[in-house]
Amino acid sequence: MMKMSAYFIKLFGYDKATNLKLIELLKIAKECDEAIGLMAHLLVAQQIWLKRCKGENTVGGSLWPDWDIMEMEAIVLRNNTDWVNFLNTLNEQDFVKSVSYKNSRGTAFANRLEDVLAHVINHGTHHRAQIGQHLKLCGHNLPSTDYIFYIREQDA
């Protein structure tokens, strides 16, 4: 049976690979500003959630940063490294522990770490789908971003 840390590291590997695929397309689709804005939001949200998981204050930061697409590849790689490093510090019991945090409005919440991690991955998938729709409307063909295709590539 796969350990939880290994499972989430695998999911964050998928997240990194698909973000990088879309960023390559976004670099040539500069007319698709909304898609670039969504990618920036996806990436800053990952940073915010990691800080929350570490017990750091996240109230007050921008959820929609004005980042240049040319900087985003490095941000994806840094985010992934930071998440993997964090996950590697955890034991199995840590995943069911509660993470207390405040949302962007300052409202307090607490959720199990495993649920926060699932949210971070699903949040990325949600926004990549939105990015894909914007890219299609801008006339671009999309790369395959399904998880199972990523797994097949990894297993090949």
Report pLDDT digits (tens) over 44-102. 999 999 999 999 999 888 999 999 999 999 999 999 999 999 999 999 999 999 999 99
Q: How much is the pLDDT for 133?
A: 97
pLDDT band at residue 30 using 50, 70 and 90 as cut-offs = confident
Q: Is 134 annotated as a binding residue?
A: no
Backbone phi and psi for residue 69, each to the nearest 5 degrees, phi listed first: -60, -30
In terms of CATH architecture, what is 4-151?
Answer: Up-down Bundle (1.20)
Domain map (residue ranges) of the chain: 4-151
Q: How many Å apart are CA 18 and CA 20, to the nearest integer?
A: 5
Q: What residues pair up with 39 in beta bridges, in sequence order?
A: none
- Look-up of token digits 């990436």: 43
Is pTM beyond 0.85? Reply is yes
- Look-up of token digits 């959630």: 49
Q: How much is the pLDDT for 156?
A: 82
Buried b (16+ CB within 10 A) or exposed e, 90-111: beeebbeeebebeeeeeeeeee
Q: Taking a C-beta distance cutoff of 8 angstroms, is the pair 62, 92 a contact?
A: no
Q: Taking a C-beta distance cutoff of 8 angstroms, is the pair 32, 141 a contact?
A: no
